[in-house]
Amino acid sequence: MAPHANDESGNAGGMSMHESSTPAGFTVQSPNVKYSDADITSKYTYRTTDVSFANGGFSAAPKETVYDFKTERKVGKVGVMLVGWGGNNGTTVTAGILANRRKLEWETREGLRAANYYGSVVMSSTVKLGTDTKTGKDVNIPLQSLLPMAHPNDLTIGGWDISGMDLAAAMDRAQVLEPTLKSLVRKEMVSMKPLPSIYYPDFIAANQEDRADNVIAGSKASMEHVEHLRKDIRDFKSANGLDKVIVLWTANTERYADLVPGVNDTADNMMKAIADGHPEIAPSTVFAVACILESAPFINGSPQNTFVPGCIQLAEKHGAFLGGDDFKSGQTKMKSALVDFMINAGIKLTSIASYNHLGNNDGKNLSSQKQFRSKEISKSNVVDDMVAANNVLYKEGEHPDHTVVIKYMPAVGDNKRALDEYYAEIFLGGHQTISMFNVCEDSLLASPLIIDLVLIAELFTRVQWRKNGEQDWKSFHSVLSVLSYMLKAPLTPPGTPVVNALAKQRSALINIMKACVGLEPENDMTLEHKLF
């Protein structure tokens, strides 16, 4: 990608980016794939297995369903608005995109460092395209090359924060980045200032009150707040000449909202509850509603139950996209991978003890019990589907003991310490204990996930599908479960199973993208090497 010669500050509290080149692509040679200037269309045969139980045994039958996919090729100009823009993640994402866009290098005590997108599955991982016909070797390409996707260097960034600090000062407060890197991006970031946000003290820890100097008047939900946020999105879009805006919550963890019949159980009840200023309508839900009404995809990067049933129903009604919940960055990603390995290896995991201490503002907020409970739930449920999938190891109702502890330790800052013990039963009553110590530079792990969530959400605004033979194209379900790889508590459409297993989540994302260009799912049988 060619370096950019100049930097440009956007309007409406935003940072504007220029065009950058996209990775080299490929062409699928198949009668099932058609390319036009506007779209890529594919005919894809989805193969599954239907299982029924009768006469004391299972009956399995292969099933084929043919789908058509259509992907709009033009990406357009994309903006992202972060709720909590002045926090650790928001300032780190912004500085990181600036650094990558300008191809910055900076000195550290370990030597010279250069900007990269390590940690981003879209920008820094590859997928197998196929096998070279001449050499028989696998051909791997960047994931971002599978379909036309936005590039993070081209994103226009803005957002809201309850703290009015400019982003340069907020970057200093976060204590995440190297001083030499901060000095290189300071000039641009000092001109960036978050828009005022909504602040309902009952939903976040009392220790956050001293930061709340940049707030919209009113301490409970109201339609005035919804309309204010809608106008912010429209103004940001217009001022920066954007084709679409993605909104992502990277602000403080809220307490769980109580699910109250007649309040947040249906779309109509929720909208009335907002108008009435009901105390169980969370700030994040107000943001979600504003985004739904503006057709701006909204992603929740914190563990609270933003997407109450009424919110999901409203999104379905308007055909708007939602994704959540809670970034899956360090400890939980390791837990997802390790538990999946152990259970698939036939090892009976009987207990998991997870301890964390961290010193950033997230840790300070989580020192309040109500906010910690939201995080505890999202961290504790990540093994459920893996356990449920193995009825040899676990009988009905059986589940490993699982405890999560988080403590606030200011001295360690953004360098979260995560200690885990996995205790398992093995052959003939034996036991295995795996202890793991993981130092997670929290914001440097979470920031690439924010980029991935934005890029993938944007992609799926341009993908449509239909069953073969139907006339009308449809969008994906309002709940974008393809984002699950990046989220601890993946939200799925009502009534559908939750998948936490990391490998399954990644395969689902890649194979759906492959289906859009008529390619088969990843196949590791390698029969061409085994049968001759």
The CA distance from 468 to 246, in Å, is 31
Contact, 467 vs 66, CB < 8 A?
A: yes
Label residue 374 by pLDDT band (50, 70, 90): low
The CA distance from 132 to 301, in Å, is 40
Contact, 189 vs 107, CB < 8 A?
A: no
Collapsed DSSP state (helix, strand, coil) of residue 184: helix
In the numeric block, the tokens 């200023």 are attached to 277
Average pLDDT of the residues of the chain: 91
Could you report the per-residue pLDDT of 131-186, keeping only the tens digit for each?
888 888 899 999 999 999 999 999 999 999 999 999 999 999 999 999 999 999 99
pLDDT of 237: 98
The CA distance from 509 to 499, in Å, is 12
Amino acid identity at 368: S
Q: Where are the domains of the chain?
A: 75-327+444-515, 331-442
Average pLDDT rounded to a whole number, residues 288-295: 98
What kind and span of H or E run contains 411? none
Q: At what angle do helices 331-344 and 502-515 cross, to 10 degrees?
A: 90
Look up residue 243 and give its two tokens: 């084709």
Collapsed DSSP state (helix, strand, coil) of residue 284: helix
In the numeric block, the tokens 């993938």 are attached to 456
Residues with a known catalytic role: 326, 375, 416, 488
pLDDT of 442: 86
CATH number attached to the domain at 331-442: 3.30.360.10
Could you report the per-residue pLDDT of 455-466, keeping only the tens digit for each?
999 999 999 999
Look up residue 78 and give its two tokens: 């994309």
475-to-143, 309, 320 alpha-carbon distances in Å = 22, 20, 10
Q: What dihedral angle (degrees, nearest 10) is formed by the CA atoms of 89, 13, 318, 41?
A: -80
The model's pTM is 0.91
Closest among 405, 301, 422, 304 to 357, alpha carbons compared: 405
What kind and span of H or E run contains 384? helix 384-388
The CA distance from 86 to 255, in Å, is 21
- Which CATH superfamily does the domain covering 75-327+444-515 fall into? NAD(P)-binding Rossmann-like Domain (3.40.50.720)
Look up residue 149 and give its two tokens: 């996707």
Could you report the per-residue pLDDT of 225-273, keeping only the tens digit for each?
999 999 999 999 999 999 999 999 999 889 999 999 999 999 999 999 9
Strands 322-324 and 474-475: unpaired
